Amino acid sequence: MPNWDYTLFDAVQLMIPVLCSFLSIAVVIIYLFLYKNLRMKIYLGGFLMSLGALFYVFFESLVIICGWTGALATGRIFHFTGQLSALYFLFSMPLFARSLVKEDSLPGKVSRFFSFIGLGAAVIITAAALIKPPLFISLTEKVTYGYITPGDFARGAEGVLYSLRDSVLGIYLLSLIIISIYALFLNKGDLKTLLIVVGTIWAALSAVDDLMFFHFRRNFFLTAFRFSRFSVGLSGMNFIILIALLSDYIRTQDRLVDVHEKLLVTHNRLLSSEKKYRKLAEGVDSAVFSLNSDFYITNYNQKARQFFSLKNENLKKTLPDLLRRSSDAAADGIKSSINIGQQIIQENLLQLSRDKGTVSFHSTLDDPHTKEPEEFAFHIEYHESEEGEAEYICRAEKMKANRLIRAIEKESLQLSIENYIIAIDDVTTRLTTALNKYMDQGSVLMIKLGLQELIINAIEHGNLNISFDEKTKAMEEKRYLDFIRERQKDPRYRDRTVRIDYRLSSNRVQYRICDEGEGFHLDNTMKKVGDTVDKDLLGHGRGINMAKILFDKMEYNNKGNQVLIVKEFS
């Protein structure tokens, strides 16, 4: 070993490996913190790359120390181990490069391919080096080039795998520079990407300088430098890239703080708006529901709770369930009218689902306190949530007699309606509204039910020529609405109408209902229907009997396609 002249300059340069090691440790810790908190691939790539640099710099520092202290055999082990750790830059560098661009872009796909190839090459060279170290770095033979510094005494002779690693590493460094410059172009020259480009170029130049020294025994820069130039280059690259990512992280945090403050202001405004609209909803004299796409009740206001005696368990009910009156509480004579009400509701909801607009209908329910029947007007409007899901807003109001009704002395009206059940509700509401001047609300509702029965008979059994047995079968098969629609489209029946003559005076109201059907024999039909209804407990077929009870006079013409009903005011 030559007699080296240890100068102050040499002592100062021994501090460089120590500084690079501490810098690498700090970089690794910061990358780990960033990745743990943000789970971004760019921080994972930086962590792996800085971890490889830490091992490389650390072992290179030990090589220098062993060379100066004369622990040559130990130094060669450190040299061997440190250079093996540098192999894994072949995996971490392209992984980091991939995080700079879109993963599905060509550079992203190339980087992914390079990362897997590099990892495979690193594993293979590691296995070969462990089996036969001289192919990579000898643990017994010293370096073949001349001694420049005392640290060179602790280095082993490099083999063919070492040269192969350097060649591939040079290619990977060049690809990282190219992708960084490409990312700089995509990001329109932002500071983060610019610093990454500077860092990678710095590492590449230090690697070239080390390679030039190894192969040609000369340097282009750092000529008086005693420590591994590539170690300094890697430390500098990781530090510069970390500064770039930290500055971007800080800017991102500042933007997040601004966004958070804006969201907080928006949130407070929404809370204020929610309170205001909740007060509006609670303050109106209408029951308000929100319904999901299957018409289940999702929310309701105080009036809805009051009108319909709603509780939390009602949120498991659909709107038709809520509006369905108990058949046990209903008299036999009005059971079929309950079915008509449900039929009208179902028709409206089907139309609402199909047209995504607005529907209105009326329904009669028992008051939860007085148990007396109350008629409500329902208005349902379709809405679509931000997620694209259907929802409905339903408003229900109690029907009240207005000033115009109280002013009516006489009224006469002629109506002609098509064969749509959905229209019956509007028609019968119009034809019975003025009765509130002369009758209590419960009696008016019963007149309306009887009128609905006779109109629907005119449509179904008259104009659409549906027999009692056909209706029974369709209802048993739960396809009655579809069956009705088929008849409504039939060319033989689709143009038929039901005509209604309405007359109101101070002592009575009368309705004449006429259809365009073939008619029927009242007594024979009623006997047959009555026997079947009682025997099979059917939910339809009682309409005419109910009308006989409700009205003071009911007369059919000889053909059976026209009926006159009269109600006297006592």
Label each residue of 45-98 as H, E or C. Answer: HHHHHHHHHHHHHHHHHHHHHHHHHCCHHHHHHHHHHHHHHHHCHHHHHHHHHH
Average pLDDT over residues 164-178: 83
Per-domain boundaries in the chain: 8-258, 284-399, 402-570
Residue 377 clears pLDDT 60, i.e. is over it: yes
Q: Beta strands 297-300 and 358-366: pairing type? A: unpaired
* pLDDT category of residue 400 using cuts at 50, 70 and 90: low
Single-letter amino acid, residue 523 = D
Q: Give the number of residues written for the chain.
A: 570
Higher pLDDT, 461 or 329: 461
* Helix/strand/coil percent split, the chain, to 5: 60, 15, 25
Average pLDDT over residues 138-160: 75
Which class in CATH covers the domain with range 402-570? alpha beta
Give the DSSP H or E segment for 8: helix 8-38
* pLDDT score for 565: 93
Residue 535 clears pLDDT 50, i.e. is over it: no
Q: Which of 192, 188, 187, 225 is nearest to 209 (CA)?
A: 225
> What is the rounded distance in angstroms from the CA atom of residue 347 to the CA atom of residue 497?
19
Average pLDDT over residues 172-179: 82
- pLDDT, one tens digit per residue, over 19-76 is 777 877 888 888 788 788 777 787 787 788 788 888 888 888 888 778 777 788 898 8
Average pLDDT over residues 482-497: 90
* pLDDT score for 408: 82
> What is the rounded distance in angstroms from the CA atom of residue 448 to the CA atom of residue 538?
22
* pLDDT score for 274: 56
Contacts of 190 (CB under 8 A, 6+ apart): 184
> What is the rounded distance in angstroms from the CA atom of residue 287 to the CA atom of residue 378?
9
* pLDDT score for 328: 36
Residue with tokens 């077929």: 541
- pLDDT, one tens digit per residue, over 401-411 is 566 777 788 89
149-158, 206-215, 393-402, 484-493 — which is least confidently predicted?
Answer: 206-215
* pLDDT category of residue 79 using cuts at 50, 70 and 90: confident
Which of these CATH numbers, 3.40.50.1000, 3.30.450.20, 3.30.365.10, 3.50.50.60, describes 284-399?
3.30.450.20
Q: 10 Å Cβ neighbour count for 1? A: 9
- pLDDT, one tens digit per residue, over 92-112 is 888 878 877 887 888 888 888
Average pLDDT over residues 328-354: 63
* 529-555 CB burial, b ≥16 within 10 A, e <16: beeebeeeebebbbbbbbbeebbeebe
Residue 3 clears pLDDT 50, i.e. is over it: no
> What is the rounded distance in angstroms from the CA atom of residue 376 to the CA atom of residue 322?
13
Label each residue of 234-283 as H, E or C. Answer: HHHHHHHHHHHHHHHHHHHHHHHHHHHHHHHHHHHHHHHHHHHHHHHHHH
Single-letter amino acid, residue 61 = S
Q: 10 Å Cβ neighbour count for 146? A: 7
> What is the rounded distance in angstroms from the CA atom of residue 350 to the CA atom of residue 420?
13
Higher pLDDT, 284 or 522: 522
At the topology level, CATH places domain 8-258 in Rhopdopsin 7-helix transmembrane proteins (1.20.1070)
Give the torsion sign (CA, 119, 121, 127, 129). Answer: negative
Single-letter amino acid, residue 266 = T
* pLDDT score for 333: 42
Helix, strand or coil, per DSSP, at residue 184:
helix
Give the torsion sign (CA, 198, 204, 209, 212). Answer: negative
Residue 479 clears pLDDT 80, i.e. is over it: yes
Q: Which of 290, 294, 289, 316 is nearest to 304 (CA)?
A: 289
Give this prediction's pTM: 0.45
* Secondary structure letter of residue 147 according to DSSP: P
